[in-house]
Amino acid sequence: MASKALPATIARWALLSPRSIRIAPRMAASTTSSISSPWELYRPAIRIAGQRRALSSSVRSRYVDVDDAFDPRQQDRESDEVDVCIVGGGPAGLSAAIKLKQLASEAGNEDFRVLLLEKAGEIGDHIVSGNVIDPSAIKELLPDWNSEDNPNRFEHTTAAKVDKMYFLTKNSSIPLPKPPQMNNHGNHIISLNQLCKWLGERAEEVGVEIYPGFAASEILYNHEGVVKGVATNDLGISREGKPKDSFERGMEFHARVTLLAEGCHGSLTKQVIKKYDLRRDSQHQTYGLGIKEIWEVQPEKFQSGLVVHSMGYPLPSDTYGGGWMYHFGDNMVSIGLVVGLDYPNPWLAPYGEFQKMKHHPVFKNVLEGGKCISYAARTLSEGGFQSIPKVAFPGGALIGDSAGFVNLPKIKGSHTAMKSGMLAAEAAWDALSGNPEGTIFLFDYEDKLRSSTVWSELKQVRNMRPAFHSPLGLYGGIIYSGIEAFLFRGKEPWTFNHGKPDHAATKPADQCKKIEYPKPDGKISFDILTSVSRSGTNHEEDQPVHLQVKDWDKHAEMEWPKYKGVENRFCPAGVYEYVEDTSKDLGVRFQINAQNCVHCKTCDIKDPNQDINWSTPQGGEGPKYVLT
């Protein structure tokens, strides 16, 4: 196992960082031998948010002598060595971390180091989901998670009591029979944002080293091409790519096992899938964009435990998707719309469709007189069983939505994400225990996954999503899904293929009907910048644009004539614009407002020419979601 390292270099780096790092010495004894983790001295206590410590010129010089010829990549990075490094503080990453430390504790190995890096300023800040949770996985991991006898139980749950499903037309709603997969008896309505914060606390209690504000931006390989860890991004780089006087080189975290739990379409996951050809035996992934608001509604309109799902309006018949409304907590309502990103019409704007949906009587009657308090957006994997890649690679594995374990017909993915994290933890522990020196390859994780409920769940519903690619479109998909849910139940001998990749499904603008969206009323519907302000999003402007487009003018030349600004419409945060500019041959100029980015990854997925690459900005930046 990895040996402990003294905390000096890590502490120095954290203290100099401009990120939202919480730092305070907490030494239990006068010698470092009593410290269970080399970072324990710097456990959270004092918030340092949005301000940079003044650095003396002598300290600065240890990091960089600023000049125009300086190349940051020539500087050595500080490094630390752990047993397992996990990238991502969502349900999969936190479950894997907790399980690993549970196994180490059972074996009496208190020196086993598990480190979790999270790009958000706090655990949970970037987490968004519906969320009606199937508690099966969390009960297995933490049996007393919701027990009245547990003083540290997760208290923010609302039992799901009533399920309703509608097919919507513009002004009416038609009740639909509830498929067995959507029976929420025994499930809980929660905020996944809150649950991840709570799981983070439980992880720290068992000794996981959690470091929010550290954005892993690079996969590290050894001389044999085996993953040996990750590196965080450099700080103090200007928008022009030049080092500022506050420049700090990123850090390297070396590990025998690296688990990628970045969520849907992670930037490091993309690299690993490509390098090791992990999709060689699977179909491409297909995605949806979920847009969500949290409302506080009038008490007389609140129905605790009500779960509502909808299909149809406002989406056109050639676009997959649906809405939800969950009543939870004290007069709180979670409302949102998921739009399949294989929609063909470039004039369609998922954000605009969501604002229209809220004016339908099913939703408007609940929201009127209430207050919108939070906004969020995130992509989710919809490919299911056919799109699961190889999950193990030399030195690590993909867990959670990095691999795409969402059960779409069930409209749930947290329980499968958690279960996959636990299975990977078991495989990693066994592999490390049995192979103290050589390369780790988690074959056992692949085997465990195939014999688990994750695999059987996804296989059973594998044909429902691709059924909507039939010539009958929406209505054919609904009919087939009904037959599948009540009759076939996944036992049919065939498996449908997905259609075109999402970016390739987009048609030219002149072949599609232009969509004009109504002006928001400011009460039920809102303009996009008002919504972004409710996401808590913040990025330092003087840094390289993390939405990477090599040549903005060339991008405009490829995209504008054919798609007429599809980027502006598919983005739920107003990041992309085409601005009138008579100096340009096209009459418009392409512009990226990266400070608005809510890290949803839609642009990386849906851009027709695939020349937008989402990369991590400085750690601790992006949205700061509440109750999402």
pLDDT of residue 491: 85
DSSP, res 459: H
pLDDT of residue 181: 81
Alpha-carbon distances of 455 from 47, 160, 258, 303, 461, rounded to whole Å: 42, 25, 22, 35, 10
| Residue 248 falls in which region: left (phi positive, over 0), alpha (psi -120 to 50) or beta | beta
pLDDT of residue 69: 62
Whether 556 and 379 have beta carbons less than 8 Å apart is answered as: no
CA 173 to the chain's CA centroid: 32
Name the range with the highest mean pLDDT among 17-31, 165-179, 200-214, 424-438.
Answer: 200-214
Between 181 and 232, the more confident residue is: 232
Mean pLDDT of the region 39-53: 30
pLDDT of residue 73: 62
pLDDT of residue 13: 44
pLDDT of residue 462: 92
Q: Residue 10: is its pLDDT beyond 70?
A: no
pLDDT of residue 478: 81
Whether 115 and 211 have beta carbons less than 8 Å apart is answered as: yes
Quote the radius of gyration of the chain (alpha carbons, Å).
24
pTM for this predicted structure? 0.89
Mean pLDDT of the region 69-85: 83
Terminal alpha carbon distance of the chain: 38
pLDDT of residue 464: 87
pLDDT-wise least confident of 36-45, 136-145, 452-461, 470-479: 36-45
Q: Which helix (H) or strand (E) holds 561?
A: helix 552-563
Determine what percent of the chain falls in helix, strand and coil, rounding each to the nearest 5. Answer: 30, 20, 45
pLDDT digits over 425-464, tens only?
999 999 999 877 788 999 999 999 999 999 999 999 998 8
pLDDT of residue 70: 60
Distance CA 592, CA 565 (A): 12
Rounded to 10°, the helix 91-106/414-434 angle is: 40
- 490: confidence class by pLDDT, cuts 50, 70, 90: confident
pLDDT digits over 344-368, tens only?
999 999 999 999 999 999 999 999 9
pLDDT of residue 18: 34
Whether 411 and 308 have beta carbons less than 8 Å apart is answered as: no
Q: What percent of the chain has pLDDT over 70?
A: 88
pLDDT of residue 511: 97
Q: Residue 621: is its pLDDT beyond 80?
A: yes
3-class DSSP state for residue 402? helix
Q: Residue 151: is its pLDDT beyond 80?
A: yes
